[in-house]
Amino acid sequence: MTELTGNPPDGKRPAPATQGPGLINRLVASRSFQSWAARFPLTRRIVRREGEEMFDLVAGFCHSQILSALVGLGILDLLSDGPREAGQIGHVCSVPKDRLDILLRAGESLGLLKSQRGKVRLTRRAAALSGVPGLPEMIRHHEVLYRDLADPVGFFRGTTETELARFWPYVFGAGAAEDPGTAQRYSELMADSQALVAEDTLASVDLSSVRHLMDVGGGTGAFLAAVAKQEPRLDLTLFDLPAVVGAAHQRFEDLGVTARIVPGSFRDDPLPDGADAISLVRVLYDHQDDTVLQLLRSVHDALPVGGRLIVSEPMTGSRHPERAGDAYFALYCLAMQTGRARSASEIAELVTKAGFGNVRIPASRRPFITSVVEAVRQT
C-alpha cells in the first residue's frame, strides 16, 4: 500500500512502503490502522473491497457447496426450461420450503439465480455454466475432492489417504485400469469435459501441414473426433489402455470417423509409428517427471524428423501463480497422489530434455481450460 495522507487514531502517519514489506504488513494488520483506513475517504473503498475479497476466501467452501447443491438437486437443469415458482422447485426437488429459501437466496447472492415477480430464473452465468460440456458432471464429481480436502493440514503434510487416488488408478499402470467400472467412469468424465479442451487446443495449433495425427492417452476418442470434424483429411490413430479405448469404437462409428485404434500402455509398449504429429491431451499432469520424460522420449522416437509434438492440458502460472492451475489443478493432482500440474516453461524444459527443439508456447484462449506447448523433432 502506498503512503497515505491523514492521521490515524494513534496520531502516527502510515509508514511509507520504502521501510519494507514486513513493516507494512504489521501496520496493515494493526486493528487501529484498519479502523482508521475504513473511515478515511481515500482508503475506505479499498478497505471494503479487500475485506469482501478476504471474506470470499473464508466463505469459499460454502459457495462451492451451494453450487454443488444447485447442480446435485437438479435446480439448474429445472430452471433451464424457464422461470419457476419456488414452490414448484421445492416440490420437484423434495426440499423443505425454509431450506429451499436459503438455498435460492444463496444462489442469487452468487449471481447464479434471480428472483423476479414471484419466480426464480437462471442468470446468464448459470445458463452458461449449465451449457459447458462436462462441467455439471465435474461439479458432481467434486464431492470426492471435498472429502479428500476435509483435513487440509493433513492433506498438505501428506498424512491422509485420498479417495481420488482410487478413482484414477489407471495412472499407476495398465494393470490398475482393468476394472471396467472404474475405466468407464474415468472415460465418461474425461470425454464429457473434452469438448472445450479440444476447441481451445485446435484454436492454438495449425494442423494444415500434418498428414497423420496420433493421440496418445486419448481415451474414448473425444479429441480425435473433434479433430476429424475440423480436419477430415487427416489420418488418425488412437493409443490408450485396453480398458479405456473400448468405447472409442462406438464413438467413431456413431460419428462416421475413420481412425485406427491401438490398445496398449506407453509404459510397457512401443508407440505405433506412421504419424507425423502426436498429441498428448491432459496426459502429462497425471504423471511424475520420470514417467513424463520416458513418454516424451517414446514420442520423440515414434516421430519422423520434422514431426510435431502437441501437449495440451491445464498449466500453472510459472512465476505468477494463477488460480486455475495453482489453486485447483495443482491440488487435484496432489489428491490423485501421482503427477502434478506444471507450468508451460517446465513442460518446455522436459520436452527439450527429451530431444525436441523449436519449442513454441502459443497464447491460450482460456488458460483455465487448457494451454498448449508445441515442439518439433529435429534429429
Q: What is the mean pLDDT of residues 45-69?
A: 89
Query: Which residues, in sequence order, are CB contacts of 186 under 8 Å at separation 6+?
Result: 167, 168, 170, 177, 219, 244
Which residue do the cell numbers 475479497 mark?
53
Q: DSSP per residue over 175-186, as a string?
A: GGG--HHHHHHH
174: helix, strand or coil: helix
Structural domain count of the chain: 2
In a domain, 36, yes or no: no
Q: Tell me: do 102 and 175 sit in the same domain.
A: no
Residue 216 resides in a domain: yes
DSSP state of 30: -
Q: Which domain holds residue 330?
A: 164-377
- Reported as a single tens digit per residue, the pLDDT across 223-256 is 999 999 999 999 999 999 887 787 889 899 999 9
234 and 89 inside one domain: no
Say yes or no: 212 and 101 in one domain. Answer: no
Strand, coil or helix: 82: coil
- In this structure, the answer to whether residues 226 and 338 fall within a common structural domain is yes
CA distance 228 to 237: 11
We report the CATH number of the domain holding residue 50 as 1.10.10.10
Are 267 and 288 contacting, i.e. CB atoms less than 8 angstroms apart?
A: no
**pLDDT tens profile 193-232:** 788 899 999 999 999 999 999 999 998 899 999 999 999 9
Q: What is the CATH number of the domain that holds 255?
A: 3.40.50.150
SS3 26: helix
Torsion angles phi and psi, residue 310, rounded to 5? -125, 115
269, 240 in Cβ contact below 8 A? Answer: no
| AA identity, residue 340 | R
Q: Kindly state whether residues 87 and 211 are assigned to the same domain.
A: no
d(CA 254, CA 251): 5
The closest of 314, 309, 282 to 296, measured between CA atoms, is 309
Asked if 373 contacts 361 with a C-beta cutoff of 8 angstroms, the reply is yes
CB atoms within 10 A of CB 4: 18
pLDDT at residue 39 is higher than 70: yes
Beta strands 113-116 and 308-313, pairing class: unpaired
Asked which of 111, 131, 151 is the last residue of a domain, the reply is 131
Both 239 and 312 in one domain: the answer is yes
Give the percent of the chain with pLDDT over 70: 88
Average pLDDT value over all residues in the chain:
88
Residue 177 has pLDDT above 70, yes or no: no
Contact 95, 103 (CB under 8 A): yes
Q: What's the chain's length in residues?
A: 379
201 and 318 in one domain? yes
Q: What value does the mean pLDDT take over residues 76-99?
A: 96
- Check residue 6 and give left, alpha or beta (phi > 0: left; psi -120 to 50: alpha): left
* Residue 241 sits in the same domain as residue 94: no
263 within domain boundaries: yes
In this structure, the answer to whether residues 103 and 246 fall within a common structural domain is no
Whether residue 117 is found in the same domain as residue 181? no
